Structure 1
Amino acid sequence: MTVVTCVEDLRLLAKKRVPRMFYEYADSGSWTESTYRANESDFGKLLLRQRVAVNMENRSTRTTMVGQEVAMPVALAPVGLTGMQHADGEILAARAARRFGVPFTLSTMSICSIEDVSTALGGDPFWFQLYVMKDRHFIEGLIDRAKSAACSALVLTLDLQIIGQRHKDLRNGLSAPPRLTLPNILNMATKPRWGLGMLGTPRRHFGNIVGHVKGVADMGSLSEWTSRQFDPALSWRDVEWIKDRWGGKLVLKGIQDVEDARLAVDSGADALIVSNHGGRQLDGAQSSISALPAIVEAVGQRIEVHMDGGIRSGQDVLKAVALGARGTYIGRPYVYGLGAMGEQGVTKCLEMIHKELDVTMALCGHTRIDQVDSRILLDVPQEWLARSRPRLEVLSAEKPALAA
């Protein structure tokens, strides 16, 4: 029996149990993958201050994200094709998230549909992530479907106007629909647990799209439609239109630049996510954690700032909170758990991250997550603090401390 102690253990199990084309879809970045690697490694540049002889009783990691109470400042990020990591993957992950008390975000490019997840949760709310397509009628329908499903927040992704080149996906034939080449078929044959699960579910296509778009009735017609739908002309006027159409909590995902963060504030959104799409879009961009301080400094008093990218432990969550993030998102960690052990694996992932967060917070001398700030860090790389300042008009409002 494999003893699972950390997210890396789940990753190794998922690699054994999930077909290569789907595993590498999640576990890869664009081009050279330099940003994908930096997202994770840059957390190691932040050292923690250990404190002693502090009363560590009655600890709490509870807080809020866009007004919603959460067991810890972590949400499950939107991940496309989650239902190909494990049969009914989005449903299983949503159930695990609800049970643990953190938000689950369903991707537009999910296998299980909005309605599938809503039914499985008995009508309980979840979050929905929206990609902007050229077909605005389809987008209006998606927003209305999310409303009908009582989704409590809309996460609008802004950084996929053009899809970055992902070499592993090209080599593996990962497309919409996936190409069933002989190597792929042979590899799938070595994953019997995965195969039996997929045979036992009818959900094997993009549930939010197939049957909801005129002329797209199966996976064959989906490929042509998808290839020409992501909208390179997306603008802030579209954000305003979506905000008005949605009418609820709006989170903007894909912010890496201070100027864009200011525009996010001006849009009236409730939160922004500092994110480089997990290193899957612009290779050579800065890591999310290194982009976070300048954005918090510029707009953190006027909008709720979240971040994703590279989080692999509760310690990473704590470091992001210390730099001013009100919330964080995990994508690959829970997908590894799903691929490794199904719903139980997602729960295990959340339990481990919570345990690491709780213990590390205590050893840094704190008992409440909402009282954590940059004083728990020994230092913050000066280049992170200086980034974008030549272009900043420094706000007069009091700013959070970024280095002790």
Structure 2
Amino acid sequence: MHAFSCVEDYRRAARRRLTKLAFDYLEGGAEDGDALRRNRDAFGQWGFSPRVLTDTSQMSSAATFWGREAAAPMVVGPTGLNGLFWPRADELLARAAADAGLPFVLSTASTSLLEDVRAAVPDGELWLQLYVQQDRRIAESMMRRAREAGFRTLLLTVDTPVHGKRDHDTRNGFKLPLRFTPRLLADCMRHPHWSWQMLAHGAPQLRNIAKSTGERADLARHAAMLSRQMDLSLRWDDLGWVRRHWPGEVLVKGIQTVEDARLAQAHGADGIVVSNHGGRQLGSTLAPLELLPPIVEALDVGGPRVAVFVDGGVRRGADVVKAVALGARGVLLGRAPLYGVAARGGEGAADVLALLLGELRTTMQLLGCTRVDDLIAQRLARLPAIQANQANPL
């Protein structure tokens, strides 16, 4: 078996195991991929300023989210259609997160029932990501089921009134349900392990949407509900509607401006996620890490306290350190754990989280920090443009 030293090793292994159609769906961004590249490059714009002789013999990477402790300021974020990469991937990711001491966020577009995810991790900290369709009864049903299953925190995604233009999916003929064209069949023959699992377990279904609509599984119909039947009338005042159905914390995911961060604060959000949807919606947005400092500064000026999370481009524990030093309460992991589960199932997901946790703790000690609260902007230095480009070459 290959030795896996970092997330990039898992990315390469996932690429070897998955068909091109599946890997491009996991990996790709919108249009020319500018936002996707910018997300990763943003971390290379910052270098560290370590302190020495500070006694790091007793250190902890623990973080606290609304009084509940996590092993690190990391959350396994929401990703959809995970069953395309490995059977029951949602349960495997949730189990890996729970074993690592991290929260797990289940997507509305999950391929496992939220009740099954809870059964797989009765001890886990589970959060729900919510899309709102034109028929709001679907979202209301999803929130009710999640409450009853003991999910604690809700992430309301607000950056997807329509789906972004993803050229790679168009070129690959990616449609749901999958159409096994001669090109895809030839690709399946080159990836027998993925193909055998797909045959043995069947094509993934959007099971949570199906249950909340009270319909039988119908991938084509339920995928269309996500891509063409989103509630375009959703407004800031609708956070009140969400509050009536959700007693726990509510985070607004998809914030990309100071103005919207302040509106989220004014409308009573417990937190926000600075996010461009992994570069999968608008093709030319700024990186969330670039947007983070001014948003944090604006929310610190006054008003209710709002927890600021960030996602996009995280591949190293050092990236988490940089985000926290720039003001993030926590970092959502998207593609990184998916590479693990796509390469080696539950073992891969667990190993990716262990690698990131190890890198995070090593980076903290090398910086001279013993607590997450020690990670402040003074431990970072902005690099000149040439050095930054060399740090993360394309």
Specify the SS of the correspondent of 2:273.
Answer: strand
In structure 2, relative to structure 1, the CA distance for the partners of 1:221 and 1:284 (3 Å cut) is closer
Structure 1 Cα separation of the partners of residues 47 and 223 of structure 2: 46
One-letter amino acid matched to 1:47: G
The residue correspondences of 1:72-111 to structure 2 (distance < 5 A) are 72-111=72-111
Distance 2:384 2:232 in 1: 35
Partner of 2:326: 323
Alpha-carbon spacing, 1:235–1:381, altered in 2? closer, same or farther (3 Å):
farther
Instruction: Give the Cα separation in 2 of the matches to 1:39 and 1:182.
Output: 35
8 Å contact kept, 2:108–2:128: yes
Please say if 1:347 is aligned against 2:314: no
Q: Deviations over 1:285-305 (max 9, x none)?
A: 110100000000001462111
Q: 3-state DSSP class of the match of 2:128? A: strand
Query: What SS does structure 2 have at the residue aligned with 1:307?
Result: strand
Query: Is contact 1:176-1:226 (8 Å) kept?
Result: no
Q: Which residue of 1 aligns with 2:337?
A: 334
2:155 partner letter = V
The alignment's TM-score, normalised by the length of structure 1, stands at 0.90
| TM-score, length of structure 2 as denominator length | 0.92
- Per the TM alignment, residue 240 of structure 1 is displaced from its structure 2 partner at its CA by 1.9
Corresponding residue for 1:369? 372
Q: 206-215 or 300-309: which moved more? A: 206-215
Aligned partners of 2:281 and 2:227: how far apart in 1?
16
Instruction: Give the match's secondary structure for 2:207.
Output: coil
CA contact (8 A) 1:100 1:347 kept: yes
Distance 1:106 1:262 in 2: 26
TM-superposed CA distance for 1:219, in Å, is 2.4
2:153 maps to amino acid = A
Equivalent residues in 2 for 1:292-303, closer than 5 Å = 292-300=292-300, 302-303=305-306
Cα distance per residue 1:127-175 (max 9 Å; x no partner): 1100111111111111101111110111111101111101111112223
For residues 208-254 of structure 1, give each alpha carbon's deviation from its aligned partner in whole angstroms, at most 9, with x where no partner exists.
Answer: 12244256642243344444311222211222211221121111110
Counterpart residue number, 1:402: none
Is contact 2:155-2:253 (8 Å) kept?
A: yes
1:275 aligns with 275
Between the aligned partners of 2:211 and 2:145, the Cα distance in structure 1 is 14
1:199 Cα deviation (Å)?
Answer: 3.7
Matches within 5 A, 1:1-400: 1-122=1-122, 124-201=124-201, 204-213=204-213, 217-300=217-300, 302-379=305-382
SS at match of 2:252: strand
2:389 counterpart residue number:
none
Cα distance in 2, alignment partners of residues 67 and 253 from structure 1: 21
Deviation at 1:317, TM superposition (A): 0.2
Shift of the 227–306 alpha-carbon distance from structure 1 to 2, 3 Å rule, reads closer
- Structure with more of its chain in helix, by fraction: 2
User: Contact 1:88–1:201 (CA<8 Å) still a contact in 2?
Assistant: no
Does the C-alpha gap of structure 1 residues 156 and 169 become closer, same or farther in structure 2, counting only changes over 3 Å?
same
- Map Cα deviations across residues 331-370 of structure 1 (whole Å, 9 max, x no partner): 1000001101111111111111111111111111111112
Whole-Å separation in 2 of the counterparts to 1:11 and 1:123: 29
1: CA distance, partners of 2:74 / 2:225: 34
Judge conservation of contact 1:125–1:149 (CA < 8 Å) in 2: no
The question of whether the paired residues in 2 share the 8 Å contact of 1:7 and 1:312 is answered with: yes
* Residue range with higher mean Cα deviation, 336-345 or 193-202: 193-202
Tell me which amino acid in the other structure corresponds to 2:182: L
For 2:76 and 2:262, the matched residues in 1 are separated by: 25
RMSD (CA atoms): 1.8
Alignment-mate amino acid for residue 210 of structure 2: V
5+ unaligned residues in a row in structure 1: which ranges?
383-404
Query: Structure 2 CA distance, aligned partners of 1:150 and 1:271?
Result: 20
Runs of at least 5 residues in structure 2 that lack an aligned partner in the other structure: 386-394
Give the share of equivalent positions with the same residue, in percent.
Answer: 39
1:381, CA displacement in angstroms? 8.1
**Structure 1 residue identity aligned to 2:325:** A
SS in 2 for 1:184: helix
Letter in 2 for 1:17: R
CA distance in 1, matches of 2:101, 2:197: 27
Q: Give, in whole Å, the separation in 2 of the partners of 1:191 and 1:272.
A: 40
Q: 2:274, 2:221 → 1: CA distance? A: 34
What is the aligned length? Answer: 382
